[in-house]
Structure 1
């Protein structure tokens, strides 16, 4: 997954064709300790782990619904905040920051163009730092982002979209292609696949209105924008996880879920904020990374 695109589109992914008017989710993630492989591709005896605390919300400002009470024209605010902290023992001095703080605020708009087409647009700005001191946040920590996605409703359970997305990671606007795919089955057995320059997938069974059990797989990550030795750098932390997720419906729009599984691996490294650095491909470059580790998460969600 391309972290640059993911951070630009995180709000879009959470609001496209949602069944609810609004949503707030609090989540805690724990990635267990695993061995560290350095930039020379040498597997060391040192280990590291990570914890992630996040808040994601979409807050409707104006909603128009159809005869089935499904939102068809929506104006709203997207809020995303994430705090990542690392426990890296002996490698702390050479690893990078000991924490990452990301926060993004976006205005989004969803509306139908025809029976088969919808358009989703968003514009926002985010702060991406390696500290929690607001007085030290500078212009180099900010990144504007946005996009316009044209979504084709191929079937009742299949949507495909394409459009330009923009961010200012390099200090000026850059345009990237945004691809959106969402497929879902209905009934007691549910399958969900969502791709928006990343992947989220789940398959499971709904046992009742109050309980379902899924096997899930997804990417996640965060980024810190820094300036060191007069160079603009970004530190990215990315990981892929899979596991079992029980979900309990508490009523009144509230639900709680947990995941127990495996983080198959995670990368963590610096690179320059230049066009050449971002798009270069070199088979001899080995990004520092951690091996597989236990993964667990707990989340509380409110749909309204």
Structure 2
């Protein structure tokens, strides 16, 4: 599960941004629901009678501050990213409190992207955010992240990036390897791999309707106090399903997703760097696979540079 937690740090930083910059305001609002599913006790992997659900609202948008197009048609830009997610959980029939009833993640970030050669670009990012279980908000709930990616554009549809990512998730600033991969095929049948966020395979039924099969990683983080120590509680989910995508106009798209949770779990980690590399004595708390549903509205007030 540490691999999932690392990927979520990368996703939260915004490294899942498309290598082709947006030249206008773009955003997304999304509502998700996971019905009650049984808690699997980590000590012996027994399915218990306890259960939890998960409801989340997400809102994010990007506002370009400055955009200049060079002679080759590639953008040099500065943009502000604003993201927020609020989740509620109902927890039934637990002997002791194991999971929060609320979580809030909100962050503000600055992104700069520019070409540095005919086939290479550089993307620099920095963000600060609040990650809390809503019980008590302190300075420990504030996380700062940043990174620089060097992106190789193999062609207009394929890009690979790498570079250092710095985060104070584990108390002291820690340098992690940042990886980015974006690949989109052309034609009526389209495969889109956007590491580490999702994989999509879609069929364009007509100009206004596309049906996709998706696998998607997401999660949330909250700083919690346990035994008078600052800890990080991480929620991870991987979902798979079908996603009809309907264009409501040139700039607005409606997405409906129905499927299942492949994995849904919580991790609690010390904020000491040395503890991140320690092997755990038992598995993380997790839940039985169950249904998943989401509805999202996306808008993009400019044409993406592919």
Aligned to 2:304: none
Aligned to 2:204: 206
8 Å contact from structure 1 (residues 16, 120) kept in 2: no
Q: Please state whether the residue corresponding to 1:95 is helix, strand or coil.
A: coil
Gaps of 5+ in 2: 302-306
User: Structure 1 residues 61 and 14, CA, compared in 2 at 3 Å: closer, same or farther?
Assistant: farther
User: Structure 1 residues 14 and 271, CA, compared in 2 at 3 Å: closer, same or farther?
Assistant: closer
Q: CA deviation at 1:199?
A: 3.8
8 Å contact from structure 1 (residues 3, 222) kept in 2: no
Q: CA RMSD in A?
A: 1.9
Q: Please state whether the residue corresponding to 1:276 is helix, strand or coil.
A: helix
Supply the distance in 2 between the matched residues of 1:23 and 1:235 (Cα, whole angstroms): 30
Q: Please state whether the residue corresponding to 2:94 is helix, strand or coil.
A: helix
2:63 counterpart (59, 64, 78): 59
User: Structure 1 residues 208 and 4, CA, compared in 2 at 3 Å: closer, same or farther?
Assistant: same
1:292 counterpart (289, 294, 297): 289
2:20 counterpart (18, 21, 27): 18
Q: Please state whether the residue corresponding to 1:171 is helix, strand or coil.
A: coil
Q: CA deviation at 1:63?
A: 0.9
- Cα deviations by residue, 1:222-250 (Å, 9 ceiling, x for unpaired): 01012233211111110100100001111
1:258 counterpart (253, 256, 259): 256
Supply the distance in 2 between the matched residues of 1:16 and 1:204 (Cα, whole angstroms): 18
Q: CA deviation at 1:269?
A: 3.3
Q: CA deviation at 1:67?
A: 6.5
Q: CA deviation at 1:158?
A: 1.4
8 Å contact from structure 2 (residues 80, 108) kept in 1: yes
1:130 counterpart (133, 138, 157): 133
Aligned length: 297
Q: Please state whether the residue corresponding to 2:14 is helix, strand or coil.
A: helix
Q: Please state whether the residue corresponding to 1:7 is helix, strand or coil.
A: helix
User: Structure 1 residues 242 and 57, CA, compared in 2 at 3 Å: closer, same or farther?
Assistant: same
Gaps of 5+ in 1: none
User: Structure 1 residues 94 and 105, CA, compared in 2 at 3 Å: closer, same or farther?
Assistant: same
Q: CA deviation at 1:213?
A: 0.6
